[in-house]
Structure 1
Amino acid sequence: MYVIYINDRPLALLSKTEHRTGALAQEILNSETHLTAMYSGKPRTLLHYADMLEKGSPKVVSVAIVAKDLGDLWKDFQSHYRWLPAAGGVVRHRELDKHLFIFRRNFWDLPKGKIDKGEDEPTAALREVEEETGISDLTLGKALPTTYHTYRNRKEKRVLKPTYWFEMDTSQSALVPQVEEDIEIAEWRTISEVLAGPDPIYKSLRFLLEQVL
């Protein structure tokens, strides 16, 4: 199964087997605003559902598309987008037992950024955390679930951005937010505090962090 966030709304791609066994996370579903559709095998039809979520209709806030072959469905979905991979870190402070968050463009976020040519995912994740928050003393941990979201670039072209996440830890407390990347605050906070707080956090990150708790 793949869950892609479009305008902060989930579009799930899943196989018939996954659909039968209820693999789709219950928190994504709301019977009144959720739409499930069988894939016709025609790639153009996928844009109908993507556009529905992108436009922000209050009637449909989540979509699941079910196919016999998930690999073919995923390949057809990707064919409509430019692939732009990124990597980032979920960083825990060893002594404080808190995690690193940044506040950017009115949302709580995690440090992440585009993977440079020739980089692998862990190297890019470590580099981005250091650049965005000033932490150089980092220990890389295990890989976490990949998140996916879409957006339009300046030429109105569709972009699909996978973000490869890694656990990291550190004993370094001082933080230096990268203002050039519109980061206003870098702060050590508990995950539960951020998820329960009044300030917004992207749903893809909420889903990721709930698995870290």
Structure 2
Amino acid sequence: MYVIYINDRPLTLRAEGEAGQYPDQAPETHLTARYSGKRKSLLNYADTLEKGSPKVTSIELTAPDLDALWADFRSHYKWVEAAGGVVTHRNNGRQLFIYRRGFWDLPKGKIDDGEDRPAAALREVCEETGLREVELGRALPTTYHTYRGSKRRILKPTYWFAMTTGQEELVPETGEDILRAEWRTVAEVLGSHDPIYENLRDLLRQIGTD
């Protein structure tokens, strides 16, 4: 199963017979359809979510061959990889969040040419938050979201890793529009009304129950 966030709304691709997970999606605005095999039709579904219509807030597409559906969907997008971290403080058990462009976020960034995912995740966390001593942990679920580039649609997978540190002081990278960096708990962030991207909310829910 793949869940891609388009305009902060989920497009789920899954194999026929595979169970879906949609506890927060209103049934009256959730569209489920079987993929016809026509690649161009996938853009129609993406455009529906991009336009932000209140009539359709989530879409689920099924197909007998999930790999083929995923390949067809990816063919419409330029693939731009990113990596980031969910950092937990060893002493207080809190996680590291940053506030950027009106949303609470997690430190992440584009993977450089020749750089592997774990190294990119560590680099971005250190650059964006001022941490220097960070220990890499296990890989976490990958998130996907799209946006419009100057010439093409972009599909960005972000590879997440659990991390730990004993450092307390944080220095937000203001050059990257990061206004604040704070130690908060996942439960606190999810339980508040603070703005956070839905793909990150989904990720935090998953790791909160691990």
Output the CA distance in 1 between the equivalents of 2:109 and 2:23: 27
Shift of 1:28: 4.7
Output the CA distance in 2 between the equivalents of 1:27 and 1:52: 21
Tell me the amino acid that sits aligned with residue 81 of structure 1. Answer: Y
Output the CA distance in 2 between the equivalents of 1:120 and 1:151: 23
TM-score, length of structure 2 as denominator length? 0.97
Partner SS, residue 17 of structure 2: helix
TM-score, length of structure 1 as denominator length? 0.96
Alpha-carbon displacement from aligned partner over 1:184-207 (angstroms, at most 9, x marks no partner) = 000001111111122110110011
Contact 1:28 1:62 in 2 (8 A): no
Output the CA distance in 1 between the equivalents of 2:98 and 2:118: 20
Tell me the amino acid that sits aligned with residue 92 of structure 1. Answer: T
Alpha-carbon displacement from aligned partner over 1:27-79 (angstroms, at most 9, x marks no partner) = 25321000001111110000000000000000000000110100000000000
Tell me the amino acid that sits aligned with residue 189 of structure 2. Answer: V
Q: How does 1:82-161 map to 2 (within 5 A)?
A: 82-153=78-149, 155-161=150-156
Query: Could you tell me which residue of structure 2 aligns to residue 15 of structure 1?
Result: 15
Output the CA distance in 2 between the equivalents of 1:127 and 1:7: 27
Tell me the amino acid that sits aligned with residue 207 of structure 2. Answer: V
Query: Could you tell me which residue of structure 2 aligns to residue 200 of structure 1?
Result: 195
Output the CA distance in 1 between the equivalents of 2:188 and 2:111: 30
Query: Could you tell me which residue of structure 2 aligns to residue 187 of structure 1?
Result: 182
Output the CA distance in 2 between the equivalents of 1:191 and 1:104: 17
Partner SS, residue 136 of structure 2: strand
Output the CA distance in 2 between the equivalents of 1:192 and 1:65: 31
Partner SS, residue 24 of structure 1: coil
Tell me the amino acid that sits aligned with residue 172 of structure 2. Answer: P
The count of aligned residue pairs is: 208
Tell me the amino acid that sits aligned with residue 10 of structure 1. Answer: P
Shift of 1:157: 2.0
User: Which deviates more from structure 2 when the two are superposed, residues 188-197 or residues 125-134?
Assistant: 188-197
Give the superposed CA RMSD: 0.8
Output the CA distance in 1 between the equivalents of 2:191 and 2:152: 35
Output the CA distance in 2 between the equivalents of 1:11 and 1:209: 18
Tell me the amino acid that sits aligned with residue 193 of structure 2. Answer: P
- Does residue 25 of structure 1 match 2:18? no
Contact 1:103 1:183 in 2 (8 A): yes
Output the CA distance in 1 between the equivalents of 2:200 and 2:193: 15
Contact 1:102 1:184 in 2 (8 A): yes
Output the CA distance in 2 between the equivalents of 1:121 and 1:5: 21
| Deviation >6 Å, runs of 4+ | none
Contact 1:105 1:182 in 2 (8 A): yes
165, 168, 172: which one aligns with 2:167: 172
Partner SS, residue 199 of structure 2: helix
Contact 1:10 1:28 in 2 (8 A): no
Partner SS, residue 190 of structure 2: helix
Tell me the amino acid that sits aligned with residue 155 of structure 2. Answer: L
Output the CA distance in 2 between the equivalents of 1:65 and 1:149: 16
Identity of aligned residues (%): 63
